[in-house]
Structure 1
Amino acid sequence: MVQILSGKAVAQKLKQDITVEIDILKSKGVIPTLGIVLVGDEEDSLSYANSAKKRCETLGAGCNIFKFPAGINQDDLEKKILELNENRDIHGYIIMKPLPSQINEKRIAEIIDPAKDIDCMTPKNIAKVFAGDNTGFSPCTARAVMEILNFYQIPIEGKRAVIIGRSMVVGRPLSMMLLKQNATVTICHTRTRDLAKEAKRADILIAAAGKAEMVTKDMVSPGTVVIDVGINFKDGRMVGDVLYEEVEKLASAITPVPGGVGSVTTMVLLKQLVETCRK
């Protein structure tokens, strides 16, 4: 029988641990406070920011949303980022993407203080992930996948992990995190020849391509652990990158969408906020 890898259970455990850490910090007169930089009026970004703020407040942390007009120029935004670097009341911050076309995102990433970069945008933190150095911060979604695998005690060492997707947010950093736990990792992408054949070789299959229900039963071998990172909308409903109804019948374990990786990601962000605050 397939095991449903509920992200909600993982998030609940993280919540308990984070609450304890926040209480300890508050007893020392420190309230961990998140900053969220929002440029423009993207509805999805605003919704996420408000949701994160509510989650922070529920746990006893602080959260400030720094909202700037869509027409802000590069120099002015850079000044605001440098101010956040110096703001002792903000322990970690994230920048909602995408940024407007007039903003050079690479330059913004280069001036973020790596010690406050809790979603791994800076070259320094990215380099630490690839070097296997735990003193930096990982991209929250990639770390959420690892939190799920470890929470459910899914064996990783010696297993063949196949990742569909090569982004710097999930695919590539996640490959390094799996390698660190001694998996054998293959990264696939849109130009992979015979993607189904590569996917079927997986003991752990991670779908992070951003394409609705692209992973079908023809791409999964019986007994595979399937982690669905995708969040897509199809016919008015949220679906993942995996055609759940088909794949569930073959998998030994699978994450649902919604209620899977996405449920854990915000808690990982707050976990990393607490870590930087403690440092």
Structure 2
Amino acid sequence: MKTDGIRAALIDGKAIAARMRTETAAEAAELAALGWQPRLVSITVGDGAASEVYVRNQQRTAENAGVEFEARTYPETISMEQLVGVLQGLNADPRVNGIIIQRPLPAHIPVKTLQKAVHPLKDVEGMHPASIGNIVYNDLALGPCTAVAAVEILKTLPLKIEGLDVTVIGHSEIVGKPIAFLLMSLGATVTVCHHMTRSVAMHSRAADAVFVAVGKPGLVTGDMLKPGAALIDIGINRVDGKTVGDADFDSCAKVAGWLTPVPGGVGPVTVATLMKNAVLATRMQMAHYRAEYALTDV
């Protein structure tokens, strides 16, 4: 539904996520029948108020997707060595199929070190260096959830990705760069813009699709878009008590052909992707255990 002056068709992330959850639940039930019930463990360190909403949303989505979910909270005083020991225990537990590390973390716990401690087969967030590195080789096993979700949204649009001109604004290790590699593997021509790019608008105006993930509200405006282009807004910012993206919604909606709202766009699909990864991780672990421990003829 459009209103006067609005050109863009709003992309319903909640509807996309609902379809994904239905598919995930069917796969989870199939695995459970084989004795492999998908199960996630969430790790929060210190005051959980900052991540409470995310944990609650993840738990609700997990239940709807047929994935068991356990939330654990550890004191802020826990040492890095103790926390790594916790993760090693979870890595070794065949009843745990995925590990989620909630942010923010205390200053003495470097998130990258913690991500490296999660076994790649249980890295449902797709944050382990091996998970991200595999994308370069077109081996998308457990990819970074936000990046995968953003690309999945583009796939739902009536656009041929092969040969599509795409501009990615933002080049973080877990969103911007993986998006670029994922799109290149699908045949798109990708330009990546960052804080040293001389003219972001020059690149974005030439693109058939624009992804933005910077964390700066109002960064992308309507005059920076090609008429009819798709705009995937990944930013999450709080402005005057409201959650907004990195795009100036009003001006972009008058130019873009398709636009993700914030909230309700990439966010729900990201959480659904996390559950999809949980089921995929479970299937990969089942195959691994069978290969390692299966009885063979003597």
The TM-score normalised by the length of structure 1 is: 0.95
Bigger drift between 259-268 and 64-73 goes to 64-73
1:105, distance to aligned residue in structure 2 (A): 2.7
1:146, distance to aligned residue in structure 2 (A): 1.4
User: Of 89, 94, 105, which aligns to 1:99?
Assistant: 105
SS of the aligned residue for 2:106 comes to coil
User: Of 106, 121, 133, which aligns to 1:127?
Assistant: 133
Please give the per-residue CA displacement for 1:11-60, whole angstroms capped at 9, x wherever unaligned: 11101101111221222233211111111114231221122112212333
SS of the aligned residue for 1:205 comes to strand
1:208 has 2:210 as partner: no
User: Of 198, 210, 234, which aligns to 1:229?
Assistant: 234
CA contact (8 A) 1:214 1:243 kept: yes
User: Of 193, 196, 203, which aligns to 1:191?
Assistant: 196
Q: Which residue of 2 aligns with 1:254?
A: 259
Please give the per-residue CA displacement for 1:194-217, whole angstroms capped at 9, x wherever unaligned: 221121111111111111121112
Which runs of structure 2 are paired with 1:1-279 in the superposition (5 Å)? 1-134=7-140, 136-279=141-284
1:63, distance to aligned residue in structure 2 (A): 0.6
CA contact (8 A) 1:93 1:118 kept: yes
Runs of 4+ in structure 1 displaced over 6 angstroms?
Answer: none
Q: Distance in 2 between matches of 1:240 and 1:184?
A: 25
Bigger drift between 173-182 and 61-70 goes to 61-70
Identity across aligned pairs (percent)?
A: 36
Please give the per-residue CA displacement for 1:224-259, whole angstroms capped at 9, x wherever unaligned: 111111111111111111111111111111111111
> RMSD over aligned Cα, in angstroms?
1.4
SS of the aligned residue for 1:142 comes to helix
CA contact (8 A) 1:38 1:46 kept: no
Q: How many residues align?
A: 278
CA contact (8 A) 2:48 2:73 kept: no
CA contact (8 A) 1:81 1:112 kept: yes
CA contact (8 A) 2:99 2:118 kept: no
1:153, distance to aligned residue in structure 2 (A): 3.8
Question: Counterpart of 2:214 in structure 1: which amino acid?
Answer: A
The structure having more radius of gyration, on CA atoms, is: 2
Structure 2: which 5+ residue stretches go unaligned?
1-6, 285-298
SS of the aligned residue for 2:254 comes to coil
CA contact (8 A) 2:44 2:74 kept: yes
Q: Distance in 2 between matches of 1:42 and 1:212?
A: 26
Q: Distance in 2 between matches of 1:54 and 1:106?
A: 27
Structure 1: which 5+ residue stretches go unaligned?
none
SS of the aligned residue for 1:43 comes to coil
